[in-house]
Amino acid sequence: MIRWRTSYREASKFSRRVVWVGGGIVLLFLLLASLSPILTPYNPINSERNDPFTSPGFKHWMGTTKMGYDVFSRLLSGSRIAFIVILLATTLAMLIGLPLGLISGYSRGKIDRFLVMLMDSVYAFPSLLLAITVAALLGRGVVNASLSISVVYIPQYYRVIRNHVLSVREEVYVEAARALGASRWTILRKYILFNVIQSVPVILTLNAADAILTLAGLGFLGYGVTPPTPEWGYDLSKAMGDFASGIWWTSFFPGVFIVLLTLGFTLLGEGLNDILNPLLRGRR
């Protein structure tokens, strides 16, 4: 906490403003997602009482779709799905990639070479193609979509943490602890983990931004959640044919929500990176 406060004070005003703007956007969407059961004016998966292709107005703020779904209600409910998938995917990737990076960077030898080869093989695949492949094997659903996306980010946590461990393991205090007979797990837990974990918030926020696009891509291609569950990518795919007929709102608003939340997480991650990275602070 003390290191974070010091880094925050030393950061430029621009970096701090970027963090606040990005964090504000993410917090706004998180608030909308939390209150969506209360704020949604219509049932997001029931369109029986709504007229199709109603233009945005007082009754339907963002209009209705071809099937009569209220766009605003589905977007609010879809924000909950987005945050659930982000939380599950990034947390699972972190819980797997972080310890593997610690073990690999500290142990070296055969274990390190095997894990480097495995992670490089996974990292070589295009992220969306890899997520589609895993999703095709697991099937549709929120949990399966989260698992499919988490596979993409495990190598990122692994590579960053491993590189940090490789530099920290040669520090004097680690050598001293090793000379005093401290066990491997004690050194990893007490002397290395808390010196490399500062990069995790940056990876997490940037992965969250990418996870929104990956989830939207899965939904757009039909590999995401199970219909008619509200999800921005799925709704966008169903609305692509409407724009040619002048029905702009069914694709415009889902696209805006995707862009805004992605922008929020990206600004938050880049701002945190500027604050926590001393090299970037020195290049104002």
d(CA 215, CA 86): 9
What is the pLDDT at residue 173? 80
Q: Is the pLDDT of residue 254 over 50?
A: yes
For the stretch 148-159, pLDDT in tens is: 999 999 999 999
What is the pLDDT at residue 144? 94
3-state secondary structure of 70: strand
For the stretch 168-181, pLDDT in tens is: 877 888 878 878 87
Residues 6+ apart with CB under 8 A from 132: 148, 217, 218, 221, 223
What is the pLDDT at residue 2? 41
What is the pLDDT at residue 94? 93
Q: How confident is the model at residue 273 (pLDDT cuts 50, 70, 90)?
A: confident
Global confidence as pTM? 0.88
For 234-248, b where at least 16 C-beta lie within 10 A, e where not — what string? Answer: bbbbbbeebeeeebe
**CA–CA distance from 236 to each of 3, 64, 157 (Å)?**
43, 13, 30
What is the pLDDT at residue 187? 82
Q: How confident is the model at residue 208 (pLDDT cuts 50, 70, 90)?
A: very high
Range ranked top by mean pLDDT from 144-158, 178-192, 270-284: 144-158
Q: Is the pLDDT of residue 278 over 70?
A: no
What is the pLDDT at residue 155? 93
Segment 84-111 mean pLDDT: 91
Segment 119-140 mean pLDDT: 91
Segment 128-152 mean pLDDT: 93
Residues 6+ apart with CB under 8 A from 272: 19, 201, 202, 205
The architecture of the domain spanning 2-35+68-281 is Orthogonal Bundle (1.10)
Segment 98-109 mean pLDDT: 87
3-state secondary structure of 274: helix
